[in-house]
Amino acid sequence: MGLLLAALTVLATASPAHAHDELLGSDPAAKSTVDALPAQLRLTFSGVIATEERASEVQVTDASGVTLTDGAPTAQDNVLTQPLAGEASGTVTVLWKVVSSDGHPISGEFSFTVAGAPAPTAEPDEPAPTRTATPTPTLIDDMTDDPVETPLVGLIPVLLAAGVAAVVIALVVSARRRRSGPSGPGSEPPADQ
């Protein structure tokens, strides 16, 4: 029994295995909604993170995949700050990678939502566009605006066919008259011999 108690005491007082650091929180927070894209994103970790160049990477993109990061992130103690720029509306995705205090890289992903749509910026010298009523097209407008749609276009092949038929008939009649010879009033029948 004493041996079992001694083993439990050793196990209870032994220091836990050193675990990798983890992301404790962010500003803006994961799954939160903000009115506009902030000027910077702050990630807070459970331990000091490496400050060497390229030890930390952050990618921030809007719903259409446009990058919102503005320069490299900076690390101080357990906080990583990433400057942001641009306008966003909808879901913003954050991918991060840092080197934790034990020298191992850790990474993760989260998203937050930007509620406000970016306001369109109008040029000060240009007047705002005005909306005018568009008249409803009528049958007459359709016929005069697009000549391909007029009823006469459908008659063109019929008229051409009729003209060709008239020429052919005239040629056939003329050819028969020439073969049969002159006939008609004032012509004499051929003499019998």
pTM of the model: 0.52
- Strand 33-34 to strand 79-83: parallel, antiparallel, or no bridges (unpaired)? unpaired
**Res 4 pLDDT > 50:** no
The pLDDT value recorded for residue 135 is 54
Residue owning tokens 């000549």: 147
Distance of alpha carbon 73 from alpha carbon 42, whole angstroms: 9
Q: Are 151 and 126 in contact (CB under 8 A)?
A: no
Name the more confident of 99 and 10: 99
Q: Are 37 and 92 in contact (CB under 8 A)?
A: yes
* pLDDT tens digits for range 140-176: 444 444 444 445 556 677 777 788 888 888 888 888 8
Q: Which of 64, 132, 136, 72 lies closest to 93 in space, CA to CA?
A: 64
* pLDDT tens digits for range 54-99: 899 999 999 999 999 999 999 999 999 999 999 999 999 999 999 9
Distance of alpha carbon 72 from alpha carbon 87, whole angstroms: 19
